[in-house]
């Protein structure tokens, strides 16, 4: 768990810094999407630091070098709320940055956001009571309830949003299609991780660690990798909108290679 949480903190923190530093590499109209993506990674980095500290406080061992059996510290508990607060903030923003970077008509953009943001917040809110419950029935009920807005979000992304992609450059349509598959794949990890302690309760601590590890890897893919794809879309749309900007950026990318060749 130390290694998992450390990996996520590093990925989210430096993913956020990259997305902020990359602002000049896209046209001004697409920078808002990169800022939102950087905020998402920044929020996640902060909450994973809190999760890391909560984990250190909640589980302790007397073994030399920390390689023995860990037990729950007296009067301490692992705070799962940090993770859900993170999701409550970042999941609506993840959907927002996708809509913003496509630069859709304002009416269509507003229509999509008015549906996606409440659905995503409801999905997270319904999952939390099941996450913190020790009763398998309650976990099942709230897990199923949170699946309803999840399916609605997928409908909007794969059906409603598809109708608005006809005017996008071919490369952008292809990247958006990949992003939706990425969301489906990574978001699919969350319910799998959620049910591991439910159906593998005999595994004890191993099941709990598998759940936390699943959440951690999914968060890297759904935030950092997703943010890099947002950056790619912003670049593609910038090139399509302004050939002069595309020429300048291409020259910047080629120049270091040419300089290195001449110097050798």
pLDDT of amino acid 173: 83
Res 71: pLDDT: 82
Q: What is the pLDDT of residue 96?
A: 93
Which among 55, 125, 25 has a CA at the least distance from the CA of 84?
125
Residue that the structure tokens 């995503």 belong to = 120
52 Cα distance to chain centroid: 18
**CA dist., res. 144 & res. 183, Å (int):** 19
Residue 172: predicted pLDDT: 86
How many Cβ atoms are within 10 Å of 262's Cβ, its own excluded?
7
CB atoms closer than 10 angstroms to residue 240: 15
CA dihedral over 256, 257, 262, 264, signed as positive or negative: positive
Report d(CA 91, CA 82) in Å as an integer: 14
In contact, 141 and 131? CB cutoff 8 Å: no
Residue 78 has phi, psi (to 5 degrees) of -75, 130
Is residue 48 within 8 A of residue 10, CB to CB? The reply is no
Q: State residue 255's pLDDT score.
A: 66
Q: What is the pLDDT of residue 15?
A: 97
**Spatial distance between the Cα atoms of 82 and 121, rounded to a whole number of angstroms:** 15
Q: Could you list the mean pLDDT of each consecutive 10-residue stretch along the chain, which spans 264 residues?
A: 92 97 94 96 96 91 78 85 94 92 84 93 93 86 92 88 79 84 83 80 80 91 93 92 88 63 50
The phi, psi pair for 152, rounded to 5°, reads -65, -40
Whole-structure pTM value:
0.88
β partners of residue 71: 60
Amino acid 89: pLDDT: 95
Cβ atoms of 46 and 89 closer than 8 Å: no
Give yes or no for a contact between 147 and 127, defined as CB atoms under 8 angstroms apart: no
pLDDT (0 to 100) of residue 264: 45
């Amino acid at each position: 768990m130390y290694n998992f949480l450390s990996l996520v903190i590093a990925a989210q923190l430096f993913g956020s810094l990259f997305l902020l530093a990359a602002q000049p590499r896209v046209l001004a109209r697409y920078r808002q999407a990169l800022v939102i993506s950087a905020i998402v990674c920044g929020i996640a980095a902060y909450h994973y630091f809190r999760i890391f500290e909560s984990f250190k406080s909640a589980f302790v061992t007397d073994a030399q070098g920390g390689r023995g059996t860990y037990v729950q510290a007296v009067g301490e508990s692992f705070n799962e709320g940090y993770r859900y607060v993170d999701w409550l903030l970042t999941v609506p923003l993840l959907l927002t940055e996708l809509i913003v970077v496509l630069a859709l008509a304002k009416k269509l953009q507003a229509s999509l956001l008015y549906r996606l943001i409440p659905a995503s917040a409801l999905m997270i809110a319904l999952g939390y009571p099941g996450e913190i419950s020790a009763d398998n029935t309650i976990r099942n009920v709230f897990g199923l309830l949170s699946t309803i807005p999840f399916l609605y979000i997928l409908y909007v992304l794969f059906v409603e949003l598809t109708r608005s992609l006809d005017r996008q450059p071919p490369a952008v349509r292809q990247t958006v299609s990949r992003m939706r598959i990425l969301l489906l794949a990574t978001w699919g990890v969350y319910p799998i991780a959620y049910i591991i302690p439910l159906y593998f309760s005999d595994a004890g601590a191993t099941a709990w660690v598998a759940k936390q590890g699943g959440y951690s890897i999914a968060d890297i893919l759904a935030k950092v990798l997703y943010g890099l794809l947002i950056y790619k879309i912003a670049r593609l749309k910038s090139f399509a909108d302004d050939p002069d900007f595309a020429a300048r950026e291409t020259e910047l990318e080629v120049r270091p290679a040419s300089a290195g060749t001449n110097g050798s």
